[in-house]
Amino acid sequence: MKSPVYIASDIHLGAVPDARERLFIAFLQHVGADGGSLLLAGDLFDFWFEYGSVIPGEHFRVLAALADLVDGGVPVTMIGGNHDAWGGRFLEQEVGASFHATPVRTDLAGRPALVAHGDGVGRGDLKYRLLKAILRSRVTIGAFRALHPELGVCIARAVSTTESKADSASLVKGRADHIQAWALAQLASDPTLAWVVCGHAHLPAVVEAGPGRYYLNAGDWVVHNSYIRIGEDGAPRLLHWAGAAG
């Protein structure tokens, strides 16, 4: 991904006020003006599912802003999160993003990177890892696709716990610590990696694991409006969007 690289995650469109969504659109416009590339490390949407040719009707302004970035020569890479792993044809062919439902090896600012949303990483939380495998199975996806989209959206909204989890400081801290420990272990075990990037923690972090090697987490737009910019010098900066460039 070409510099400057912008990283954001856990925007959770649909679980945040409209004003927050408009702030995020202004951020996307800034990314387009600055050039470079954009990495979204999961949970752009609080719910996203593609029913063949049918997609959720909300957040079209954000989708259009992402398409404008791609059309303007700014590559957009999206990682599926635990709320929006069911992307596919529309995001890739209509928006023009590179979409990955699972962790991916790529490059950031010309150096090797491992990017994962962060849900279910490591060996802990066996119940969630089993649930994740079930939810992403072909059988479950096919059954959900057979539902009327309005019913599917209602079910997704009913089971979402984004707001309650964001208010639990102990839960957020524990999750963030677990993801950071996993990320640092990846850097320690693979000396070729310069970056490990995650989301899901909802706590921003820039942690140097050795000279020029980093764990990065851009935080969220539920609470922090935070993002990371890796400039042409290769140095990551944690910034917060307040309606103007950081």
In a domain, 172, yes or no: yes
Query: Residue 127 and residue 206: Cα distance in Å, rounded?
Result: 29
- The number of domains in the chain is 1
Q: Is residue 176 part of a domain?
A: yes
Residues 6+ positions from 94 with CB-CB distance below 8 Å: 63, 67
Element containing residue 226 per DSSP (H, E): strand 226-230
Q: What is the pLDDT of residues 63-113, one digit of tens each?
A: 999 999 999 999 999 999 888 877 888 999 999 999 998 999 999 999 999
DSSP letter (8 states) at residue 2: P
| pLDDT at res. 66 | 97
With CA atoms as reference, report the closest residue to 58 among 159, 147, 150, 158: 150
Give residue for tokens 């962060």.
Answer: 118
- Tell me: the pLDDT tens digits for 164-220? 555 567 678 888 999 999 999 999 999 999 999 999 999 999 999 999 999 999 999
Domain containing 55 — which CATH number? 3.60.21
CB 14 within 8 A of CB 45: yes
Identify any residues that bridge with 103 across adjacent strands, giving them in sequence order.
Answer: none
246 within some domain: no
Domain that holds residue 84: 5-240
